[in-house]
A and B are shown apart, each in its own frame.
Chain A
Amino acid sequence: MAYTAHNPTTIYADIVARLTSQTGKAVGESEAPAGAVQNASLEPYVIVYPQLELFEGSLSDPNIIDEFTFQLTCVGGTMVHAQWMQHSARAAVLGWAPTVAGFTPTPIRLVLGSGIARDDDVQPPVFYSTDRFECFTS
C-alpha cells in the first residue's frame, strides 16, 4: 500500500491562509508575524501553534485517522482589540474544514477556549487569548 498520510505543512498553511483572508490581519505560524510590534498601538494579529497530532493506523495504511490540535494566540494592544481578534479568528476557523488532499477532514471545533489575559511582561501591556482547536481527518 502506498504511504498516503497527509503533509501537515499543507494543513497549517491552509489554516494560516484562511485566517489571513477572513480576518484581514497578519498571521504567523509558531511566531509573531513579521513586523509585529508589541505595544498599545499594535495591529491585532494571530499566531498559529501546531500542538499535537495523533495517528490511528499505520503509515502504510491509507485509512489513517488523524487528529490535529492547534492553538490560536490572538494578540491586541487593547482589551477590545484582543477580543475582536479572538472573535474574528474563531469565526474564521470554527465549522470550516481545511483542505487535505486525499483525506476527509472534519470541521474544526473549539476544545478549550480562554478569556483575554493581560501580559505585563510587555510594556505597555498587551492583551491576548489562547484558544485550542482540533480537527480530524480520515
Chain B
Amino acid sequence: MTTTPEVFARRLEQSARELEPEWRRDWSKEVADEMSRRAPRDTGRLAASMRVTDEGVVADVAYAVYVARGTSRMAPRPFDLEAVAAVIKDAAEGAGDLVIRELT
C-alpha cells in the first residue's frame, strides 16, 4: 500500500498515542524497581515502599524526601535521581540497539 509522508506521520502519532499508557506503566514499573534497588537500606521499609500510581512513582514513607534530598545536617542520597537516570540510559541503549537491528 502506498502512503504519503503526512499519512505515515499521522499513523505514527496515532500509534504512539495508543501505546503511551502502556509505555507509561512499563516505565513507572522500571523506575519503581530501580528506586527500590537503589534506596539506602536500614530496615528495608523505604525500599519496600515504592508504589506506581496514576501520578507516577511514589516512595510511600514520610521520610523518603529527607533521604533523597537530605536535611540541614544530612547529605542527600538521591536514589530517585539515580534510578530515573539509569532507566533512561537503559531505554536509550535499547532504542539504539533496536534501530541498529532494523537497519541491518
Chain A residues within an 8 Å CB radius of B75: 30-31, 49
Chain A residues within an 8 Å CB radius of B81: 51-52, 69, 132
Contact B73 A71 (CB under 8 A): no
Complex-state Cα separation, A124 to B76, whole angstroms: 22
> A5-29: which have CB < 8 Å to B?
none
Contact A130 B76 (CB under 8 A): yes
Stretch at the interface among B16-24, B25-33, B41-49, B64-72: B64-72
A73 interface hit (Cβ, 8 Å): yes
B60 interface hit (Cβ, 8 Å): no
B40 interface hit (Cβ, 8 Å): no
Contact A51 B73 (CB under 8 A): no
Contact A38 B70 (CB under 8 A): no
> B77-90 vs A: 1/0 string, CB under 8 Å?
01001100100010
Contact A51 B78 (CB under 8 A): yes
A117 interface hit (Cβ, 8 Å): yes
Neighbour of B78 across the interface among A31, A52, A54, A127, CB < 8 A: A52
Contact A128 B85 (CB under 8 A): no
Contact A38 B69 (CB under 8 A): no
Contact B72 A75 (CB under 8 A): yes
A104 interface hit (Cβ, 8 Å): no
A122 interface hit (Cβ, 8 Å): yes
Complex-state Cα separation, A119 to B75, whole angstroms: 13
> A55-88 vs B: 1/0 string, CB under 8 Å?
0000000000000010101010000000000000
Chain B residues within an 8 Å CB radius of A126: 72
Contact A49 B76 (CB under 8 A): yes
Smallest CB-CB separation from A69: which chain B residue?
B81
Neighbour of A51 across the interface among B71, B72, B76, B89, CB < 8 A: B76
- 8 closest A-B pairs (Cβ-Cβ)? A130-B69, A128-B72, A119-B72, A75-B72, A126-B72, A51-B78, A119-B71, A52-B81
**Chain A residues in the interface with B (C-beta under 8 A):** 30-32, 38, 49, 51-52, 54, 69, 71, 73, 75, 114, 117, 119, 121-122, 126-128, 130, 132
The 24 sampled A-B contact pairs (Cβ below 8 Å) are A38-B73, A49-B70, A49-B75, A51-B78, A51-B81, A52-B82, A52-B85, A69-B81, A71-B69, A71-B76, A73-B70, A73-B72, A75-B72, A114-B69, A119-B73, A121-B71, A121-B73, A122-B72, A122-B73, A128-B71, A130-B69, A130-B70, A130-B76, A132-B81
